[in-house]
């Protein structure tokens, strides 16, 4: 959410698709409560535009609103009509960000395969590193083409960073046969809880904190990412939502 808000602060038009089935909360963290989720559109109850939520931070949000049993229904009903709705919206968008849940999920394979860049966020803790390690191996089986970048979150000690970098670098080299070119670090900040409670992105709440400076470094690199052409993106969007034929 903080990265999306900072990209918007740079004048970029951002669409955030909160796909985390059952736990969609992006809008809440930006001070809004989802009134209409995409699941309502798929059921024919509302228009597509009613599902697009503006925030005061310049980020548009679509919340899936799906539970785990809804996802297949969503893919089965992702027809030309909703494709046209998405493409109409995305032609005025600079960055389409998909927020997914923690860990690997087979139902998200098409998202992994059709993203320009995958940001894998982990903590410098043994269980989190194991989960990141598992996801890297899963991505290797899929033969993803997009760049994979690692964000190490809640860093308290620089020594722990080097250990995690070493483990994940070796994993990527062994299973993906590629180098992880970019590791990003986000410092631990005790104000995160307050940010969530007040529903204000921390980068807006504490603009000059070490956390915010770390976010801005990541944003700066994202602004230099080469994105796919519109023609290529149209096909990839179809594949992303399971409509590759």
| 97, 132: one domain | no
- 31 within some domain: yes
pLDDT at 99: 86
pLDDT at 137: 84
125: closest CA among 147, 152, 99?
152
Dump pLDDT digits (tens) for 8-22.
999 999 999 887 654
> What distance in Å separates the CA atoms of residue 91 and residue 227, rounded to the nearest whole number?
13
The owner of tokens 């023609």 is: 231
CB 63 within 8 A of CB 16: no
Overall domain count for the chain: 2
CATH of the domain at 27: 3.40.50.300
> What distance in Å separates the CA atoms of residue 89 and residue 131, rounded to the nearest whole number?
34
Of 151, 167, 188, the last residue of a domain is: 188
pLDDT at 214: 93
| 20, 88: one domain | yes
- 241 within some domain: no
Of 84, 101, 118, the last residue of a domain is: 101
Q: How far is CA 242 from the centre of its chain?
A: 18
| 82, 144: one domain | no
- 237 within some domain: no
- 141 within some domain: yes
| 145, 168: one domain | yes
- 172 within some domain: yes
> What distance in Å separates the CA atoms of residue 195 and residue 29, rounded to the nearest whole number?
8
| 57, 68: one domain | yes
Structural domain boundaries enclosing 135: 103-188
Q: How far is CA 124 from the centre of its chain?
A: 20
Of 188, 208, 225, the last residue of a domain is: 188
| 68, 95: one domain | yes
pLDDT at 28: 58
Dump pLDDT digits (tens) for 176-208.
777 787 899 999 988 888 888 888 888 888 888
| 30, 112: one domain | no
pLDDT at 245: 47
- 78 within some domain: yes
CB 34 within 8 A of CB 199: no
> What distance in Å separates the CA atoms of residue 137 and residue 104, rounded to the nearest whole number?
10
Rounded percentage of the chain residues whose pLDDT exceeds 70: 82
Low-confidence ranges of the chain (pLDDT < 50): 22-23, 245
pLDDT at 23: 44
CB 35 within 8 A of CB 78: no
């Amino acid at each position: 959410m903080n990265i999306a808000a900072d990209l918007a602060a740079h004048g970029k038009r951002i669409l955030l698709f909160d796909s985390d089935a059952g736990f969609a909360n992006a809008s809440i963290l930006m001070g809004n409560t989802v009134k209409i989720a995409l699941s309502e559109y798929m059921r024919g109850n509302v228009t597509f535009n009613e599902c697009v939520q503006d925030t005061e931070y310049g980020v548009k949000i679509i919340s899936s609103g799906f539970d785990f049993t809804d996802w297949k229904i969503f893919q089965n009903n992702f027809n030309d009509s909703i494709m046209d709705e998405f493409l109409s919206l995305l032609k005025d968008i600079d960055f389409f960000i998909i927020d997914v849940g923690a860990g690997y999920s087979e139902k998200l394979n098409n998202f992994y395969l059709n993203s320009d860049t995958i940001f894998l966020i982990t903590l410098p803790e043994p269980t989190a590193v194991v989960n990141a390690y598992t996801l890297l191996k899963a991505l290797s089986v899929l033969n993803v083409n997009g760049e994979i970048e690692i964000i190490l979150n809640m860093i308290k000690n620089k020594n722990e960073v080097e250990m995690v970098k070493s483990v994940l670098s070796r994993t990527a080299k062994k299973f993906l046969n590629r180098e992880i070119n970019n590791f990003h670090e986000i410092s631990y900040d005790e104000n995160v809880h307050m940010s969530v409670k007040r529903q204000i992105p921390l980068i807006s709440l504490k603009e000059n904190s070490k956390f915010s400076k770390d976010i801005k470094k990541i944003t700066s690199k994202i602004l230099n990412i080469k994105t796919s052409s519109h023609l290529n993106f149209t096909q990839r969007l179809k594949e992303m939502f399971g409509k590759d034929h």
